[in-house]
Amino acid sequence: MFSSNSHIPFYRQMIDLLGNAMNLLEGQGRAEVFQFIVSQQNTDGGFKDRGGRSDLYYSLFGALMLRAIESEVRNPKSEESSQSQLAVSNNPATRNPQPANESIVKLKRFVQENSSKNVPGFIEQCCLVLLQKELRISSFVRITNLIKLSRSFWKERYSINLSYRSFVLFLTLDAVLPFPGLLKFGAGKMLKRTTVDQHSPCSEVAASVFLQKMMNGDGSAEQELLKSFACQTGGFKAFSHLQQADMLSTAVAMFALNFAGSDLRLLKPNCLDFIQENYSDGAFLSGDGDLTQDVEYTFYGLLALGVLAG
Task: Establish if 186 belongs to a structural domain.
Answer: no
Phi and psi, residue 238, nearest 5°: -70, -35
Domain range for residue 284?
195-310
Contact partners, residue 40, CB within 8 Å, separation at least 6? 47, 48, 58, 62, 294, 295
Task: Establish if 111 belongs to a structural domain.
Answer: no
Task: Establish if 200 belongs to a structural domain.
Answer: yes
The pLDDT averaged over each successive group of 10 residues in the chain (310 residues) is 62 95 90 96 97 96 95 64 46 46 95 86 87 85 70 64 69 77 68 84 92 87 97 96 96 96 96 97 95 97 95
Q: What is the pLDDT of residue 159?
A: 62
Task: Establish if 132 belongs to a structural domain.
Answer: no
Task: Establish if 21 belongs to a structural domain.
Answer: no
CB 150 within 8 A of CB 166: no
Task: Establish if 246 belongs to a structural domain.
Answer: yes
Q: Number of structural domains, the chain? A: 1
Task: Establish if 102 belongs to a structural domain.
Answer: no
For the CA atoms of 110, 116, 119, 125, what is the dihedral angle to 10 degrees? 80
Task: Establish if 144 belongs to a structural domain.
Answer: no
For the whole prediction, is pTM greater than 0.85? Answer: yes
